């Protein structure tokens, strides 16, 4: 199945989004036994098309010191294995330099990338999402992972770029 990666700093709402998209079907996968900062995989279906979803920051502790090394390492893995990448930012915060570094890294990878500006719980907040266009993404979508708004538009755009699954293979 094609793979969609969800990237972003801690607390932006990645796991809220992941849970909304996948329900409860999820499994934690690490690079090595005993390492807890892992990726979490799940399955998603949209308009009768299935894909896998990976939350790259799944169990990263909320520790600022870990942001550069660990989030970026996870992003590198996502860049290698994913067919599409969704970067999530917290639309209620200022645009910060780690977001810019992560965005640059993701866009350099040459995979289709999407920016989900999360925590836009009402349409009156969508103007704030425009701020994040400075990150340079072509596709910028305001969403509320908690309330579900904007999610359909995001999935429409992401699934449109996924490769067709090979006939008979699952």
Shorter beta-carbon distance to ligand GDP: residue 39 or 119 = 119
Cα separation, 76 vs 4, whole angstroms? 14
**Least distance from ligand GDP to the Cβ atom of residue 11, Å:** 4
Which residue sits closest to ligand GDP, CB atoms considered? 13
**Least distance from ligand GDP to the Cβ atom of residue 9, Å:** 7
Shorter beta-carbon distance to ligand GDP: residue 56 or 113 = 56
Shorter beta-carbon distance to ligand GDP: residue 21 or 167 = 21
Shorter beta-carbon distance to ligand GDP: residue 49 or 70 = 70
**Least distance from ligand GDP to the Cβ atom of residue 139, Å:** 18
Q: What angle do CA 98, 114, 104 make, to 5 degrees?
A: 35
**Least distance from ligand GDP to the Cβ atom of residue 29, Å:** 16
Cα separation, 146 vs 149, whole angstroms? 8
Residues that bind ligand GDP (CB under 6 A): 8, 10-16, 57, 118-119, 121, 144-146
Order of strands across the sheet that contains 84-90? 26-29, 39-46, 49-55, 3-7, 84-90, 113-118, 140-142
**Least distance from ligand GDP to the Cβ atom of residue 3, Å:** 18
Shorter beta-carbon distance to ligand GDP: residue 11 or 27 = 11
């Amino acid at each position: 199945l094609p793979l969609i990666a969800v990237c972003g700093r801690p607390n932006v709402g990645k796991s809220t989004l992941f849970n909304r998209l996948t329900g409860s079907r999820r499994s934690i996968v690490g690079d090595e036994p005993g390492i807890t900062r892992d990726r979490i995989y799940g399955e998603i279906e949209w308009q009768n098309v299935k894909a896998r979803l990976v939350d790259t920051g799944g169990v990263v502790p909320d520790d600022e010191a870990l942001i550069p090394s660990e989030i970026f390492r996870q992003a590198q893995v996502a860049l290698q294995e994913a067919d599409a990448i969704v970067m999530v930012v917290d639309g209620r915060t200022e645009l910060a330099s780690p977001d810019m570094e992560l965005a640059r890294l993701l866009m350099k990878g040459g995979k289709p990338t999407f920016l989900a500006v999360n925590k836009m719980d009402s349409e009156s907040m969508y103007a704030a999402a425009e701020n994040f266009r400075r990150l340079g993404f072509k596709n910028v979508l305001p969403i509320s992972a908690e309330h579900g708004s904007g999610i359909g538009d995001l999935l429409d755009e992401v699934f449109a770029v996924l490769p067709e699954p090979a006939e008979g293979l699952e």
